[in-house]
Chains A and B, each alone.
Chain A
Amino acid sequence: MSDLSVNHLLGIKYLNIKDLKLIFQTTDHFKEVINRKIKKVPSLRDVTIANLFFENSTRTKISFELAQKRLSADVVNFSSSSSSVKKGETLIDTVNNILSMKVDMVVIRHPSPGASVFLSKNINSCIINAGDGTHEHPTQALLDAYSLIERLGQLKNKKILIVGDILHSRVALSNIFTYQKLGAEVMVCGPKSLIPKYIQLLDVKVETDLFKALKWCDAVNMLRIQNERMSESYFPSIREYVQQFGLNKNILDSLNKEIIIMHPGPINRGVEITSEVADSSQAIILDQVENGVAIRMAVMYLLASKLY
């Protein structure tokens, strides 16, 4: 177990358990590095990485960029709002043009599911998926699992709940794959209209009563309502959603047990989670953000070692 089985990080689907373990072990070391006074190592000093963001992002973009800088990589940033994509250039042309300027690795976020897989088949470069539409967001799932392992020791036979807009969430799908590969049981909970029709085929439990679902789980991942991906109404009103699926202190107190609370961000305070809960000691939301940099350093380090 010394090498990743893949040359790109397109989704958790393509990784095996050895890959996950190798990534987590490497992350341990990078977490120690980013807690030093001088947080930089020279490993990737001859690697150039392009961050292509065809969709808005704060956390993921900053996290990737910090990770790249702490590995001493050279970074170029691209965002679609200020680019020639607006002039009608295709994705392949855009990326090929950037690659001809000798870029070794591409981090891409795109609104279309499968954009990164498509690129990896058509372009000769190492691709890292930073979120493709409603499909996958592998680095988020890796950092979620890593943060949970820090608290729970391991995930085997643990029960993990994902609440909210499962239908439009790329985090949900990557999370399900990761947790299952690590031996955990997964349940999703949300309004019926926001749960994909055939999700049971993934061996996932479905529950529409938040209290029952919380009773069952050891940890819960609260997802945001992805209004930007909704062209129609999926539930009567935000108010009704909050009443049925919002996580607040009352419902947590009534469980008589302490569960771990995660959120991939951005938080809509007062909608899926109240401020009181988001800022409580049960919530590991800021640990997730810290681990995000270390996870991304590990992924880029391991993939870069496959560039010859």
Chain B
Amino acid sequence: MSPKKILNAKQISTILHRLSFQLIEDHNNFSDTVIIAIQPRGVYLAERIMELLIKDCNEMKLGLLDVTFYRDDFRRSEKVLKANKTKINFSIENKTVILIDDVLFTGRSIRAAMDALQAFGRPRAVQLLNLIDRRFSRELPIQPDYCGTQVDSRLNQRVKVCWKEKDNEDAVYLFKNS
């Protein structure tokens, strides 16, 4: 079965603009807010949103967080979990942290991310922004604060977010894994 396109470039652009406006509404000039992108695929989304925000606020801080060493499926999956780069060169102490990832699925990456954040300070609050929320697949009580769109999918399906920078187009696809 060929993959089904859920969002096209225009729809993604509209969503990104809406999410940016929501962030500006809630966080004013971002003096007490930092953005942390979850490696690897949250980074593209975070960079896009940063681009839109930077017009209104010039002191934006973006960090990259890799959660591999905090995951709870280590030694339970067949493959070694391979790490990516973590780069947070500012303190998150008393800041509001906005975690950004492309797809919210079981919620386990986000749980690991909240664990990992503790190594960088005690944030005042942590919020979550996702482009896609696979709302019926959650295994933990975790919900996004800012959500692009909700997708109803089954466990054996896969959602892939494509970005121009990496995959030559902006689109979101739903695949069915046999």
Contacts and interface: CB of A to CB of B under 8 A. Distances in A.
Contacts of B80: 2-4, 302, 305-306
Interface string A162-177: 0000000000000000
Contact of B70 (A25, A28, A41, A301): A41
Contacts, number: 56
Interface of A: 2-4, 25-26, 28-29, 32-33, 36-43, 46-47, 301-302, 304-308
B75 A29 contact: no
B94 to A, nearest CB: 15
Interface stretch (B10-18, B27-35, B81-89): B81-89
User: Most chain-B CB neighbours within 10 Å: which of A3, A28, A39, A42?
Assistant: A42
B119 A29 contact: no
A36 B83 contact: no
Contact of B83 (A26, A40, A47, A308): A26
B74 A43 contact: yes
- Shortest beta-carbon contacts, A-B, top 7: A41-B69, A38-B119, A29-B83, A305-B80, A43-B69, A36-B119, A3-B80
B120 A37 contact: yes
A150 to B, nearest CB: 16
Contacts of B74: 43, 304-305
Interface residues of B, number: 20
Given A33-B69, A43-B69, A3 B75 contact: no
Interface of B: 66, 68-70, 74-75, 79-86, 115-116, 118-121
Contacts of B84: 29
Given A3-B79, A305-B75, A38 B118 contact: yes
A29 B85 contact: yes
B97 to A, nearest CB: 16
27 contacts: A2-B80, A2-B82, A3-B79, A25-B83, A26-B83, A28-B85, A29-B68, A29-B69, A29-B85, A29-B86, A32-B85, A32-B86, A33-B119, A38-B119, A38-B120, A39-B119, A40-B119, A41-B69, A42-B69, A42-B115, A301-B69, A304-B74, A304-B75, A305-B74, A305-B75, A307-B75, A308-B75
A209 B50 CA distance: 61
B70 A29 contact: no
Contacts of B120: 36-38
Contacts of A38: 118-120
User: Most chain-B CB neighbours within 10 Å: which of A25, A304, A305?
Assistant: A305
Given A37-B119, A305-B75, A308-B75, A29 B66 contact: yes
A46 B74 CA distance: 10
User: Most chain-A CB neighbours within 10 Å: which of B83, B116, B119?
Assistant: B83
Contacts of A32: 85-86
Contacts of B119: 33, 36-41
Nearest to A38: B119
Contacts of A28: 85
A301 B121 CA distance: 25
Contacts of B70: 41-43
